[in-house]
């Protein structure tokens, strides 16, 4: 099965660390990152999709960050 996650966060180094950790944990980048202004909070937000091949069938109760 291919697991999918969409990592999001404010445009800070913490977001880059979140993506870097996912890559170190075996996730792969999927598509281009997204970058948008959140007018309600006055900050830039980032998003990056990642995927990972995992054994077993899909289970909606699995915490994707633990894969």
User: What distance in Å separates the CA atoms of residue 5 and residue 29, rounded to the nearest whole number?
Assistant: 10
**pLDDT given for residue 18 in this prediction:** 97
Average pLDDT over residues 41-51: 97
Say whether pLDDT at 45 is over 90.
yes
65 confidence band (pLDDT: 50, 70, 90): confident
Global pTM value: 0.88
What residues have CB less than 8 Å from 43, skipping those under 6 apart?
10, 11, 37
User: What distance in Å separates the CA atoms of residue 25 and residue 53, rounded to the nearest whole number?
Assistant: 12
């Amino acid at each position: 099965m291919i697991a999918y996650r969409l990592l999001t966060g404010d445009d800070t180094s913490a977001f880059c660390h979140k993506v870097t950790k996912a890559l170190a944990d075996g996730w792969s980048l999927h598509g281009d990152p997204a970058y948008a202004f959140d007018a309600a909070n006055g900050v830039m937000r980032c998003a990056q999709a990642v995927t990972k091949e995992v054994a077993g069938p899909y289970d909606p109760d699995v915490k994707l960050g633990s894969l």
